[in-house]
């Protein structure tokens, strides 16, 4: 089933980033957990996390060959408050 079949519009970048920040505000999460919990596909999460980290709204707190863990920053929490 495509987006056209369900009559959904494509989300904007800010909408995706706010959704990721809201999901991260619930606690530290791996990329896979973040993808599953936010309902955003893995590749899109990865791309937007790069932006969020560059903007200091999220940070990678652990990285290994198999997993990366992220958390929201104070700046990210303030951004969420301003978005409401």
pLDDT digits (tens, 9 = 90+) for 39-63: 999 999 999 999 999 999 999 999 9
Report pTM.
Answer: 0.88
Structural domains of the chain ordered from first start = 13-83 (1.10.10.10)
**What pLDDT, on the 0 to 100 scale, is given for residue 6?**
56
Which residues make beta-bridge pairs with 30?
69
Dist. CA 53–CA 73, nearest whole Å: 9
pLDDT bracket for residue 9 (50, 70, 90):
confident
Dist. CA 73–CA 67, nearest whole Å: 20
64 has a pLDDT exceeding 60: yes
pLDDT digits (tens, 9 = 90+) for 13-25: 999 999 999 999 9
């Amino acid at each position: 089933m495509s987006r056209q079949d369900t009559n959904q519009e494509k989300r904007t970048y800010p909408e995706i980033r706010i959704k990721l920040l809201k999901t991260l505000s619930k606690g530290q999460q791996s990329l896979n957990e973040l993808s599953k919990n936010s309902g955003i596909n893995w590749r899109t999460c990865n791309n937007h996390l790069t932006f969020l980290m560059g903007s200091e709204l999220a940070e990678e707190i652990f990285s290994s060959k198999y997993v990366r863990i992220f958390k929201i920053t104070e700046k990210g929490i303030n951004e969420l408050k301003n978005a409401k």
